[in-house]
Structure 1
Amino acid sequence: MSTLAINNDINANTQSHTNHDGSSLLSQGLVEGRTPTVLTDIYQDNTNIVIWQRNLDNKLTIAVNHLLEHNPTLTLLLIVTPEDCFEVLSEKFEKSDAITALINDITLLVDMFCCLFNLKQAGLRLTILDRAMCPRFHVDRIPCRLVTTYKGMATQWLDNNIIDRSKLGAEDQGKTDEQSGLIQDIDDINQLTQGDIALLKGENWDEHEGAGLVHRSPDVSQGERRLFLTLDFIND
């Protein structure tokens, strides 16, 4: 997807939607599609999660499996730009043609993320997990985050209009999400699919207080591992 295409879609979305008050934000929902241009719908006021549904191709799958085999305890926390991302990541891994497809994919996502939000740089976290990183449903006090799971079970989330936010965090009195009353029905839990690219609006998105996407990490079965990427805003 070209920078021009992203900018054109951003302009179309921001010009065709007006701001809503706090109560209408609580009815926000999902936009999903099979092309990357769907990501520009994050600018719609009535949306707080956008999903680019995609399947990993064979080269990318091979690269992911190679990384899991050769870097089983990987945790990378980096600040990268679209211009230096490929070089920075290449320096973190032993030279191998097998890993190049993954580095190329992450570099593309960094470029798209920075273009979409007019950022010069992004905070990158790439980690291999054998347990849930954030096992409780929560909201993030950030503007927006890109998440994708290259291998394993992917992020879970809840629709705004079916949750009781008073049950989040410290108000749950030590109960599980299922016991606290936050979730009325286990079928209300939505889940991304391996390979999906998602943008999750947080509490710090403009005029979005009280409507950040409620989400959590999935359980990781014993003996399984999860390769997870996030991209975040970084102030210049």
Structure 2
Amino acid sequence: MPASLLLVPPVEVPPPATVISDAAVGLPPGRVVEAHSLAALDRIRDPDIALCLIERPLSAAFDRWLDGLPAEALPTVRLTVAPVRVMQALAPVFDRSGLPPGAFRRQLLADIALLVRRFADVAGVAEVDLRLEAIDTDACWKWHVDWVPLRLVATYRGPGTLIADPRRPDRATPLRRHQVALFKGETWRPATVAPVVHRSPPVAGSGVTRLFLCLNLPEGEGGG
């Protein structure tokens, strides 16, 4: 696949000036890196890169297990955690939610721990702000940029985040299941490219519950 987004017309994509600060409007659009290895996340530090997309399908059996769980068994938690403690920190959260034990639960824990470790390595931080959410609403339904230096998102169940192409803000594409997106936000420094515009997919009233992972720098940490 070429290093560009597969574009589909989005709904109600606003002009960048309505979602990006005056300072960011003057920044050039960044390039997109697409890869099949998490090692490519390091490219986000390149001055001209705005977004890294990593394609990494997990097994169909894992997907069937996750899709078959009742929505109330999906965990929701936010914590600041060191990469080496992710599995230990999440295990009791999974117990409380009712996520059944077994190989697939261990696979989910291991995958989240892997993404936290890679994010921490790229961002150069000892701890990561981890948010894992079961979402059945439209959440952040407006097109926007994030007031953070750097953010990683991935969706384990349900439709993925809608990402606007940095070069064509009138067009966007949904992230595929398990696809990882690492992108620069409003406060990345030095600011050499415009932050990435995105929004949550509409799921309210559909009966769909997403399982969404979001990783940020701990509060007070900078980027760049």
TM-score, scaled to structure 1: 0.73
Q: 1:81 Cα shift?
A: 0.7
> Partner residue of 1:45?
47
Q: Distance in 2 between matches of 1:208 and 1:138?
A: 17
Q: 1:41 Cα shift?
A: 1.1
Instruction: Using the TM superposition, name which of 202-211 and 97-106 deviates more.
Output: 202-211
Aligned to 1:84, the other structure's residue is in SS state helix
Q: 1:70 Cα shift?
A: 6.5
> Partner residue of 1:160?
166
Q: 1:200 Cα shift?
A: 1.6
The answer as to whether partners of 1:203 and 1:209 remain within 8 angstroms in 2 is no
The answer as to whether partners of 2:166 and 2:197 remain within 8 angstroms in 1 is yes
> Partner residue of 1:229?
213
Query: What amino acid does structure 2 have at the position aligned with 1:26?
Result: P
1:66-93: CA deviations, max 9, x gaps?
6x42734632111111111110111112
The answer as to whether partners of 2:148 and 2:187 remain within 8 angstroms in 1 is yes
| Equivalent residue in structure 1 for 2:144, among 138, 141, 150 | 138
The answer as to whether partners of 2:149 and 2:187 remain within 8 angstroms in 1 is yes
Change (3 A) 1:45 1:24: farther
Query: What amino acid does structure 2 have at the position aligned with 1:230?
Result: C
Give 1 or 2 for the bigger CA radius of gyration: 1
Q: Distance in 1 between matches of 2:60 and 2:168?
A: 38
Change (3 A) 1:199 1:143: same
Structure 2 unmatched ranges of 5 or more? 1-23
The answer as to whether partners of 1:25 and 1:45 remain within 8 angstroms in 2 is no
Between the two proteins, the alignment pairs up a number of residues equal to 192
> Partner residue of 1:93?
94
Q: 1:161 Cα shift?
A: 3.6
1:141-188: CA deviations, max 9, x gaps?
11101100011111112223434xxxxxxxxxxxxxxxxxxx4xxxx1
Q: Distance in 1 between matches of 2:108 and 2:65?
A: 6
| Equivalent residue in structure 2 for 1:195, among 157, 178, 185 | 178
> Partner residue of 1:214?
197
Change (3 A) 1:213 1:146: same
Structure 1 vs Structure 2: percent identity of aligned residues? 30
Q: Distance in 1 between matches of 2:71 and 2:199?
A: 28
Structure 1 unmatched ranges of 5 or more? 1-21, 164-182
Q: 1:220 Cα shift?
A: 1.4
Q: Distance in 2 between matches of 1:193 and 1:106?
A: 17
Aligned to 1:153, the other structure's residue is in SS state coil
Change (3 A) 1:210 1:29: closer
Change (3 A) 1:73 1:142: same
Q: Distance in 1 between matches of 2:34 and 2:26?
A: 20
Structure showing the higher helix proportion among its residues: 1
Instruction: Using the TM superposition, name which of 90-99 and 120-129 deviates more.
Output: 90-99
Q: Distance in 1 between matches of 2:122 and 2:180?
A: 14
Change (3 A) 1:129 1:23: closer
The answer as to whether partners of 1:72 and 1:128 remain within 8 angstroms in 2 is no
Change (3 A) 1:59 1:113: farther
Q: Distance in 1 between matches of 2:74 and 2:91?
A: 17
